[in-house]
Chains A and B, each alone.
Chain A
Amino acid sequence: MTKNRFLLLVLFTALVSLLITVKVYAQDPAPTPAAATVPSDNEVNLVAKKLYCPVCPNTPLDVCETQACKDWRAQIRDQLASGWTEQEVMDYFVKQYGERVLAEPERGGFTSLVWMLPLLIVALGLVFVGLVLKSWRASRLSRPLVQPEPQTGISKQILDKIEAEIRNMD
């Protein structure tokens, strides 16, 4: 074995050890043994709630009563029991049955449009309201300041009385 080759081997070993160390440290400091606990119904439902039944129309998976959905919930339980994270379970369902199983549309890709339009509408709406109010104020300012008295048909006496009553109220 040449000196160069020996050096390469040492480097390689060091690198692999380092990577393993990093990997170990990056993991949960006290990993729980996966098969030790069976997830409770509530833990299963917490995930199922975020999914829709792949076959029944508009039914969340946690409340769907068909046999198929019971099986899917059992599957989620098994997956959680073998240590899958919530995200992994959801990814699995999306891969198997398509995006329609997600209760909440994804915020990337084409479906980000569903989230963007309402924001845009509100923003445009506020601008529109602002412009409208501004133009209404402008139309008032452009009016002549002195106007003829309106023909209200109410005598000065009555008007004074009303004014007086209004003052008394507050």
Chain B
Amino acid sequence: MIPDIGLIALIIAFGLSVYATLLSVNGGMSKRLEWVASARNAIVAVFALLTISVLSIVYSLNALDFSQAYVADVSSRAMSPFLRITALWGGQQGSVLFWAWLMAGFVAVVVIRKWDADRELMPYVMFVAMLTTTFFVGVVVFITNPFTKMWLVPGAQDLVIAIFPPLNGQQYIPADGSGLNPLLRHFGMIGHPPTTYLGFTGFVIPFSFAIAALMKNDTTSDQWIRTVRRWTLVAWIFLSIGLILGGRWAYDVLGWGGFWGWDPVENAMLMPWLTGTAFLHSVMMTEKRGMLKKWNILLIILTYSLSLFGTFITRTGVIGSVHAFSKTALGPAFLIFISITFLGAMVLLMMRWNSLKAEHELESLFSREAAFVLQNMLFLAITIAVLWGTVFPLITELFTETKITVGPPYFKKVTGPMFLALITLMGITPMLAWRKQTLNKLLSRLAVPLAGASITAIAWALLNPKSPAISLFSIAMVAFVTLSILAEFWRGARIRMSTRGENPFTAFIKLVINNRRRFGGYIIHLGVVMIALGFIGDAFYKQETQGTLSAGESLTIGEYSLRFDGLEGYMGSDGREIVEASTVLFKDGQQVKVLKPRRDYFVVQQQPVSIAGVYSTAGEDVYVLLVGWESISNQNTTFKIYVNPLINWVWIGGFVLALGVLIGTWSQARGRSEATYSLKNQPDEGAVVGTATAPGIGD
């Protein structure tokens, strides 16, 4: 009964999506407002209907309705209600529906919120957004339908999976389901997939606005670019959080002591994040100087196409990966859709090429404009390098029929220097004004951060004598960016203190509150630098050791030693057999923590999962894995220990980054529009050159 309601709602939603797509564009072209209004109502209805569909699946998953093939596939009696509900996105069918539902939600929010603001553009925005939504809902209905049942057919070897009974078919209802992939049975299941999906689907809104502006040839007004910027920021922060939560999950569950493995699915998430980040910067050039219009649209098209490509990789398993848990006929449909989206958008951009004339003038190479162009180039180059490394195994297989692996060494060696260059730019650019900066002034502003960076690097080298030169340079750059940002805070606060007599604390708070976009941007940069610190620790200072111990023996790594006390086995919840080691960690001879690394074996799925014992401090993590043992005895038990310096800065940086976005986007929410300024169409001479208010990220 309940699944039937979900199925019917899904089918009506598909019909209404088609209706809204056709009606919105027709209404827009023929200027029939009542059509457009009807399309809008249809969009809201699509979201409501998909919500019913999603809820019906959640209900079935929790109620363990094993007559449903999807429920039997991803839910099971042993799983907790929490995991049963999150199983909505734990398998392919459910996750594509979840995806379509989120996208429909974004579109519904836009048509409700922006109805009066962008009335001219809205019909086209609705058309583009609903075209995509229709594709996804169509995939749910026709290819990955989550409401199928299982049928026994005489003579057939396998169960037939279909909605309607095949000839002579008898419904098969198993007593229990197989349940989620063991790697997905983790608290992170509530965070990483939904935020990632919100990030991916959220990019449909900026894309729709950009394409709508191209379709309507409404590129002279800049209103849409502001709308696009805000929505990109929304999608971007979800994707950022999704990336960080994914890293945390990998660290907790995959048992290899790291958080980023340059796996194709991770790369698929990283690429739209890179182009999205490039766009969030270059769009400032358009807002402030009316520059880079074509480039911006190109970046939006790329970001959205790469999001679709990410979906393609995650959902179709085209490139074998730990994340891709199935292979279906989804591939061709996706590939065609991505091609149409990308090529269609590019053709449209070419057609409007001449009308996108921007005012490009550059006063000096020592200007923020020049730094932004260089930075955008680097972001794009990293994206291309990552894309190339990700698809290269396919290309090799195609041309030479040899299977190869492009592993982390490639990505580290190729993108590492470019990321380092970006971080360096991150320290310099805020010191540069729009238009031009005199060299003397630039140097005077850079002096303190550069001196601080040098001192940090020297101190670091003394503390870590074996540091490679490149790691010292990286550390120096991290210090440089941090100091140059703090200097901005200090400069601003000092002015308030002297002109308004505020105390340092009030001056600091008011400075941030009154310049939310700019200082929110700086806080985001601080978060990024912290994350970079985590990557530096991982790349240059990670240590590991492995050894086999009998009870009472110890394994030493650096200043730590781990004593093995014994092993025990017991049955855990969720149908897992657990083998757990008791160990004690000592630092310089002092006991610091009892660690219980364990190995959970999921009997039904025949899959082991390693749960590390971790001692975590701000400086470093000691991450202990139980690697092997000889039956349950107190002898010959093998452990692997990783010392991961600075790793916690990745998670701390994630929080800081999210905080920065919150501060930076707060502005309109309080109903008071922020006093921003534009430097467009101003004369060269005597303009606000090297302004004191100038170099903000968010400005």
Contacts and interface: CB of A to CB of B under 8 A. Distances in A.
B691 A118 contact: no
B362 A133 contact: yes
8 contacts: A41-B547, A70-B628, A103-B405, A117-B385, A129-B374, A137-B361, A150-B682, A169-B692
Nearest to B392: A114
A57 interface: yes
Given A125-B380, A133-B373, A147-B683, A41 B410 contact: no
B638 interface: yes
B407 A65 contact: no
A104 B410 contact: yes
Nearest to B370: A133
B95 to A, nearest CB: 19
Given A139-B361, A150-B681, 6 more contacts: A63-B255, A102-B404, A110-B396, A114-B389, A132-B373, A152-B682
Contact of B373 (A129, A140, A147): A129
B500 interface: no
Interface of B: 255-257, 261, 263-264, 320-322, 360-363, 365, 369-370, 373-374, 377-378, 380-381, 384-385, 388-389, 392-393, 396, 399-400, 402-410, 414, 418, 495, 544-548, 608, 610, 627-628, 638, 640, 681-684, 688, 691-692
A101 interface: yes
Contacts of A58: 261, 263-264, 320-322, 405, 407
Contacts of B407: 52, 58, 60, 102-104
A103 B405 CA distance: 6
Nearest to B295: A132
A111 B393 CA distance: 9
A110 B692 contact: no
Given A58-B261, A103-B408, A150-B681, A140 B402 contact: no
B545 A118 contact: no
A100 B691 contact: no
B692 A105 contact: no
Interface of A: 40-42, 45, 52, 57-60, 63, 65, 70, 98-105, 110-111, 113-115, 117-118, 121-122, 125-126, 128-129, 132-133, 135-137, 139-140, 143, 147, 149-150, 152, 165-166, 169-170
A143 B362 CA distance: 12
A55 B389 CA distance: 20
A121 B547 contact: no
B610 to A, nearest CB: 7
Contacts of A165: 692
Nearest to A101: B405
Secondary structure call for the A interface: helix
A139 B360 contact: yes
A149 B683 contact: yes
Nearest to B317: A57
Contacts of A41: 545-548, 638, 640
Given A125-B380, A125-B381, A140-B363, A117 B374 contact: no
Contacts of B495: 169
A95 B692 CA distance: 64
Contacts of A40: 546-547
Contacts of B691: 166
B406 A105 contact: yes
B256 A63 contact: yes
A65 B608 contact: yes
Contacts of B640: 41
B463 to A, nearest CB: 24
A45 B625 CA distance: 14
A83 B682 CA distance: 74
A140 B682 contact: no
B354 to A, nearest CB: 16
Contacts of B264: 58
Contacts of B404: 99-100, 102, 105, 111
A42 B320 contact: no
Contacts of B406: 105, 114
B384 A118 contact: yes
Which of B369, B407, B544 has the largest number of chain A CB atoms within 10 A? B407
B381 A52 contact: no
Nearest to B687: A150
Given A104-B407, A136-B360, A60 B256 contact: yes
A105 B361 contact: no
B435 to A, nearest CB: 10
B322 to A, nearest CB: 6
A170 B261 CA distance: 47
Given A59-B322, A118-B384, A136-B362, A104 B409 contact: yes
B405 A100 contact: yes
Leading 3 A-B pairs by shortest Cβ distance: A103-B407, A57-B320, A41-B546
A57 B495 CA distance: 57
B643 to A, nearest CB: 13
A170 B692 contact: yes
Contacts of A150: 681-683
Contacts of B692: 165-166, 169-170
A118 B381 contact: yes
B384 A121 contact: yes
A111 B370 CA distance: 35
Given A101-B405, A122-B418, A140-B361, A110 B373 contact: no
B409 A103 contact: yes
Nearest to A113: B392
